[in-house]
Amino acid sequence: MFRVMALASLVALAGCHRQADAPGEAPTGLAVAPGDGQVTVSWDPQPGLTYWIFFQAGSTVTAAASGVPLIFDAQSPRVVANLTNGTQYAFVMNATDHDSRAGPSTPVVLATTRAAGASWISGVPLGGNAPQNLNRVAFGAVPVSGVITSRIVVVGNAGTIFAGDYNYTNASPPGVTAWTQVTSTSLPVGFASDLTAATYTGPEFLALGADGSILRSADSNTWTSANSIPNNGARMNGLTLGVVFGAAMVVAVGNAGSIFISTDLVTWTPAAASNTTNDLYSVSFINGGFVATGANGTLLTSTDASTWVVQNSNTSTALRGAAFGTGSAGARYVVVGDAGTILTSSDGTIWNPIVPPLLQDLRGITFGSRFVAVGQGGAVAYSDDGTTWQLSTAGPADLSAVVFTPGMYVAVGASGANAVSK
């Protein structure tokens, strides 16, 4: 008799915890926005449901089919990354209710990934009623409140620094959760130098003052002084991190051919031979070597940052920035400058000017999934091979710098201008 009662109790208990019914309808509002190496999937979420995304390259996909990649417990909007540009992908969704079976699937939605850089969204100028010119932008990951966070840092005149958490899907402001201006209480006392460059070293962000001052920050919120560069009054314009024979070094360049090197941000050593007295505007560490650009067509390369080789740029126009990338025509260096000047090289030694695709000055360039250059009057030029260029615009303001973050370019410029391309 006791056994019968116990079995009856178990049956009754199981009945109280039966599997929930599957959702009766498929998720609604499924949309897939194509991006650069990724897409953004969105839908109309309902309380209590768990959503599944299934996807694969091609024109169709079946939910829960063998070998089909899936994302469990997805939240809208959801970025699906690590996709191949120029490829069509098929997406389908369903949902479960707690531990239920899956409900009906949505219709299949198709999207083809593509490189960013063609269309731009401008943000509200940074700085409110008193915006400063923004000169450089850097991207990196630092601990914020104990959590490693991807951050975008922008520096500008009069000690201006803004920082924002990278947020690809955010629309306002575009590309970040919010922009926060670093206040004077988070800077060294009395600091007011124009900041002309910024870079990310791995553990921290660095900013360069026109007067040779160096700021550093482990979280992009609080900044302290490192030892200043002994620049003898020469304006300093460019900053980069490089690795030579396994050793990290920071290199800064400026007017009158100034080049300084530091491995610890304590001691700054002049380059043994810069081999120029022309003003230098930028320095980059690309493809395992350093490239510096400057006035009168100055183009320098170096393997160790100490001894520099003067390259024949075949132009007398001021050069403002350099990038390296592997596009549709293979690996290539690209340098940009005033009056739409663009130089290309396959080896960093022989440089060839191309017919300028525009007449505006180009002030900055980067390579993400393609070459993207920005400049005067919001001009944007982009290229998949470094030789054939197309034009766009990122608003009316002059742009000074551009950086690539996951799936997105960020450009900054005059009077707090900022814009993103996804």
Question: Domain residues of the chain, as ranges?
Answer: 28-112, 121-421
Phi/psi at 109 (5° precision): -115, 135
Helix (H) or strand (E) holding 2: helix 2-16
Number of Cβ atoms within 10 Å of the Cβ of 96: 18
Chain segment 375-399, per-residue pLDDT in tens: 999 999 999 999 999 999 999 999 9
Query: What is the full DSSP assignment across 289-350?
Result: EEEEEEGGG-EEEESSSSB-EE---S--S-EEEEEEEEETTEEEEEEEEGGG-EEEESSSSS
Residue 104: asked if its preceding bond is cis (omega within 30°), the reply is no
Instruction: Please report where in the chains the tokens 């024109």 appear, as a residue.
Output: 59
The listed CATH number (2.130.10.10, 1.10.287.1260, 2.40.10.10, 1.20.1440.230) that belongs to domain 121-421: 2.130.10.10
pLDDT at 145: 87
Whether 13 has a pLDDT exceeding 50, the answer reads no
Distance CA 104, CA 84 (A): 29
**What percent of the chain has pLDDT above 90?**
94
Q: Which residues contact 172 (CB under 8 A, 6 or more apart)?
A: 123
Which is it for strands 371-375 and 379-383: parallel, antiparallel or unpaired? Answer: antiparallel
Query: What is the full DSSP assignment across 217-254?
Result: ESSSSS-EEEPPP--TTPPEEEEEEEEETTEEEEEEEE
Mean pLDDT of the chain: 95
Number of Cβ atoms within 10 Å of the Cβ of 188: 13
Q: What is the mean pLDDT of residues 355-375?
A: 97
pLDDT at 10: 35
Q: Order of strands, edge to edge, in the sheet holding 280-286?
A: 280-286, 289-294, 299-302, 309-310
Chain segment 77-111, per-residue pLDDT in tens: 999 999 999 999 999 999 999 889 999 999 999 99
Number of Cβ atoms within 10 Å of the Cβ of 118: 14
User: How confident is residue 18, by pLDDT bands cut at 50, 70 and 90?
Assistant: low
Q: Which amino acid is at 422?
A: K
Distance CA 188, CA 186 (A): 7
User: How confident is residue 255, by pLDDT bands cut at 50, 70 and 90?
Assistant: very high
Structure tokens at 230: 């002994």
Which residue, among 154, 164, 158, has the nearest Cα to 130 in the 3D structure? 158
Residues comprising the chain, all counted:
422
pLDDT at 47: 95
End-to-end CA distance of the chain: 71
Burial of 347 (0-12, 13-18, 19+ CB in 10 A): exposed
Beta bridge partners of 375: 362
Distance CA 221, CA 275 (A): 38
Q: Which residues contact 119 (CB under 8 A, 6 or more apart)?
A: 392, 421
Largest alpha-carbon pair distance within the chain?
103
Burial of 385 (0-12, 13-18, 19+ CB in 10 A): middle
Distance CA 100, CA 95 (A): 9
Chain segment 124-163, per-residue pLDDT in tens: 999 999 999 999 999 999 998 889 999 999 999 999 999 9
pLDDT at 7: 37
CATH superfamily of 28-112: Immunoglobulins (2.60.40.10)
273 within 8 A of 267, measured Cβ to Cβ: no
Which residue, among 343, 354, 269, 279, has the nearest Cα to 311 in the 3D structure? 343
Whether 2 has a pLDDT exceeding 80, the answer reads no
Distance CA 234, CA 232 (A): 6
Instruction: Please report where in the chains the tokens 């510096």 appear, as a residue.
Output: 292
**What percent of the chain has pLDDT above 70?**
95
Distance CA 202, CA 217 (A): 11
Instruction: Give pTM, 2 decimals.
Output: 0.93
68 within 8 A of 77, measured Cβ to Cβ: no
Chain segment 193-218, per-residue pLDDT in tens: 999 999 999 999 999 999 999 999 99
Q: Which amino acid is at 73?
A: D
Whether 115 has a pLDDT exceeding 60, the answer reads yes
Which residue, among 221, 191, 186, 222, has the nearest Cα to 208 in the 3D structure? 191
Whether 50 has a pLDDT exceeding 90, the answer reads yes
For residue 191, the Cα-to-chain-centroid distance in whole angstroms is 27
**Of the candidate ranges 114-118, 326-330, 389-393, 418-422, the one whose mean pLDDT is the lowest:** 326-330
Distance CA 192, CA 295 (A): 26
Which is it for strands 352-353 and 214-217: parallel, antiparallel or unpaired? Answer: unpaired
Residue 77: asked if its preceding bond is cis (omega within 30°), the reply is yes
pLDDT at 99: 85
